[in-house]
Amino acid sequence: MTFALTKKDIIALNQQFDQGSLHNEASLDFAITYARQTSNWQKALAYLARAILLDHVFEEGNKRTAALLIKTYAEYEGHATFDDKVLEMVTKMILKKVTSIRKIEEMLHDAIR
């Protein structure tokens, strides 16, 4: 199964917090392209979380958008999340500038039940 969300869907998630104004559209496009090339949904989510958090895809609300994306997509895949772990993951990714997709996948694994 390939990644199911579209760019429009991700912008709509940001619009729950802000206007959905893109700051780094190329990074979002790149992440979506890579997300669609893998059948591993957690790897797809890792690409998008990294783009949103580290490349500042949106003008505002990147942390909240990334957290909502993780929670929403995990639920779409039939899993629940530990909300405190998702918040911890988002914070850690930003503070430690975690860019490794493999490391982000490990962090996702800890945040999803």
pLDDT of amino acid 2: 78
Measured between alpha carbons, how far is 35 from 29 in angstroms, rounded to an integer? 10
Q: What is the pLDDT of residues 13-62, one digit of tens each?
A: 999 999 999 999 999 999 999 999 999 999 999 999 999 999 999 999 99
What length does the chain have?
113
pLDDT above 90 for 107: yes
**What's the rounded Cα separation, in Å, for the pair 74 and 89?**
14
Residue 108 CB neighbour total at 10 angstroms: 22
Q: Which comes out higher in pLDDT, residue 26 or 2?
A: 26
Fold category of 7-111 in CATH: Four Helix Bundle (Hemerythrin (Met), subunit A) (1.20.120)
CA gyration radius, the chain: 12
